[in-house]
Structure 1
């Protein structure tokens, strides 16, 4: 992995050059080449997707992996698909984003004290990365957490895959995760002690269409978790 990265911009630059997982490289590039008919005139990103948000974020949102025709197309987390539409509208509603939509990297979107990332940075086939791919990608998230550690106060994990991937990563980045490790549940809240300060960990159902279209995750449910995590991070009440 080379020299430890100490700057978010350098981390992101290194990340987008990663070709460690042959299956993911082949898939992300094939999707970018073949495209979806509705996006045939667009140039796809087709590379690993870095985190999005300020380098001194107090709150982190952790998803699963980029969507093939969403972030793999636009190059920005949760941008250009229905899941992102749901997430960014809620972030705007609680005062954590300057606008409710995310369509492309130059659309003017800004997050307030929040960064969005994922344990796997390449779009996987069927939206299902393998455990091996998750482990191969883990050092990127560990580096991101270490860089954010001085400012970070809360983390929201979207779904069980992200939860399972994040707990050992938080442990390696300096926070104490209880054993046995707590299971994922929507609305769960755990405070993890750390060497300099504790961090508040929240669970939330993923913003996938499977959850939002069926009502398993509603707008009110998501906004409630976002608001709780923002308060724990000290981002309210000015913006909330």
Structure 2
């Protein structure tokens, strides 16, 4: 067995999973890149002690909704050690969650900033920052046991998944199928606003998969994804997962 397979399977809860994940060095290209980013740094972050390790999922252990992105940014999550923290993509996502009452504050700056998520957990198919934000298929597959175990540990409560981007959508489908959820054939295509109801083949709960454009700067700066579009998908997914919204969608 590989390190991810062995250590993920042995994790008895999400805290143990995160601890095991942060020691992973299974993908040489990603290890080299994340550590190089920590050495070179950006001028704006010259005084930061970069995390430079795999970044675990973030959010409550009884989350009803799981947000699946792509991978940490070299100077975002790879710097701060928390998913969607320290970059513009994280700000856009957390602003939307806060507007819906799903986050305690509108900004995600560093691990000790007091941010708490309500009913929502953030994770990624690849837990190390990749060059050019593009993991290889092999790196995605090597990292898959971490996502599979995270979903397994969340199974008692999770009722919805929002895939932020096509990469997350395509990465989570085989994980869901392996965990017993019935994925239609042919596989449903990603799209913003896509919604697929997935029954469980055993005694597990139904789960709904939602598609949303990724909160990357490329999408948000060009208007491909607007704050209203993001809030609409997140709000609908949260309500369907049984999370009451604290504020009205605008």
TM-score tier by shorter-chain length is over 0.9
Equivalence for 1:80: 86
Match 1:180 to one of 186, 196, 206: 186
Q: Distance in 2 between matches of 1:239 and 1:57?
A: 19
Per-residue displacement from partner, 1:88-132 (whole Å, max 9, x unpaired)? 000000110010000000000000010000000000001100000
SS in 2 for 1:168: helix
Q: Distance in 1 between matches of 2:247 and 2:59?
A: 16
Q: Counterparts in 2 of 1:148-227, with a 5 A limit? A: 148-194=154-200, 195=202, 196-227=204-235
Q: Name the structure 1 match of 2:31.
A: 25
Alpha-carbon distance, 1:172 to partner: 1.1
1:160-199 CA deviation, whole Å, 9 max, x = no partner? 0111111001111221111110010000111100132100
Aligned equivalents of 1:118, 1:63: Cα separation in 2: 5
2:58 paired residue number: 52
Cα separation, 1, equivalents of 2:245 and 2:100: 10
Cα distance in 2 for residues equivalent to 1:112 and 1:224: 17
List alignment gaps of at least 5 residues for structure 2: none
Q: How far apart are 1:69 and its partner, in Å?
A: 0.3
Q: Distance in 1 between matches of 2:113 and 2:205?
A: 35
Shift >3 Å, 4+ stretches: 237-240
Which residue is equivalent to 2:135? 129
Q: Distance in 2 between matches of 1:140 and 1:239?
A: 33
Aligned length: 240
SS in 2 for 1:56: coil
Using the TM superposition, name which of 45-54 and 2-11 deviates more: 2-11
Quote the offset at 1:239 in angstroms: 6.0
Consecutive unaligned residues of structure 1, counting only runs of 5 or more, are none
Note if contact 2:105-2:115 (Cα within 8 Å) is conserved in structure 1: yes
Shift of 1:238: 5.3
CA shift at 1:155, angstroms? Answer: 0.5
C-alpha separation in 1, matches of 2:235 and 2:190: 19
TM-score (norm 1): 0.98
Contact map agreement 1:211 1:217 (CA 8 A) in 2? yes
Whole-Å separation in 1 of the counterparts to 2:243 and 2:22: 30
Quick check: 2:100–2:246 contact (8 Å CA) kept in 1? no
Aligned CA RMSD, in angstroms, stands at: 1.0
Checking the alignment, whether the CA contact within 8 Å between 1:49 and 1:75 is kept in structure 2 is yes
Does the 8 Å CA contact 1:4/1:143 hold for their aligned counterparts? Answer: no
Q: Does 1:37 align with 2:43?
A: yes
